[in-house]
Amino acid sequence: MTGELERVVGRSGPLLLDFDGPICRVFAGYPAAAVADRVREVAIRYGEAVPAEIADTGDPLKVLYWSATLDRLDVVSSMEQELASAELHAIETAEETPGVRALIRAASSTGRPVAVVSNNSAPAIQSFLDSRSLAESVSAVAGRPWGRPDQMKPHPHLLFEAIRDLGSKPDECVFVGDSMTDIEAGRAAGVRVVAFANRPSKIERFRAASPDALVTSMGSVADAVH
């Protein structure tokens, strides 16, 4: 695994990182399920019928992604505002992922630009980076586009945005993500993908998706960058 990771990272330039997982646990102190309830309630207040799979999920991003099917800009915008507000609150108690600080420093010391590519909102991402003194080491932030949940990952839009902002090309970049949607988005964008299995239950599922490399810690990515 180590040799495979070093080959993938060693052949790449810019480093693209997902936010929730690889960089921090956004909802460590403010449960994601409570946020999902808040976002769902907006749709209900507008009279929208919430399907069972959305009514049962504790993932607020999944709830927002569903809003793209409503064809109602007023509802989508209100749900977006609710989630963005909750994310800024959650960032106050977000927990930094072990090893990510070393990774960002390693990238900086080796001249590799870093971009954050996330379905979370850009203001929440920037707030976290500022509060942890990481902002100066991050060259670009591609957060979800306001009112366009259809362009969230697994759509490659955000990856293309980050790559453009870095003045790079897809085949020069490596993307580290911790979900199947990250792997799918990376494949669609044409970048190398490192799957971060931050829970044992993800390992076999990620392996079956054939990422370019699979890791269980961000520290190992930092070592490979060095």
C-beta separation of 116 from 14 below 8 A: no
Give the tens place of pLDDT for each residue, 165-186: 999 999 999 999 999 999 999 9
Give the tens place of pLDDT for each residue, 104-134: 999 988 999 999 999 999 999 999 999 999 9
C-beta separation of 218 from 22 below 8 A: yes
Q: Would the pLDDT of 164 be above 60?
A: yes
C-beta separation of 211 from 194 below 8 A: yes
pTM of this structure: 0.95
Q: Would the pLDDT of 211 be above 80?
A: yes
Domain boundaries, the chain: 2-25+94-225, 32-91
Architecture of domain 2-25+94-225: 3-Layer(aba) Sandwich (3.40)
| pLDDT at residue number 66 | 98
71 φ/ψ angles, rounded to the nearest 5 degrees: 55, 40
Residue 1: is it exposed, middle or buried by C-beta count within 10 angstroms (0-12/13-18/19+)? exposed
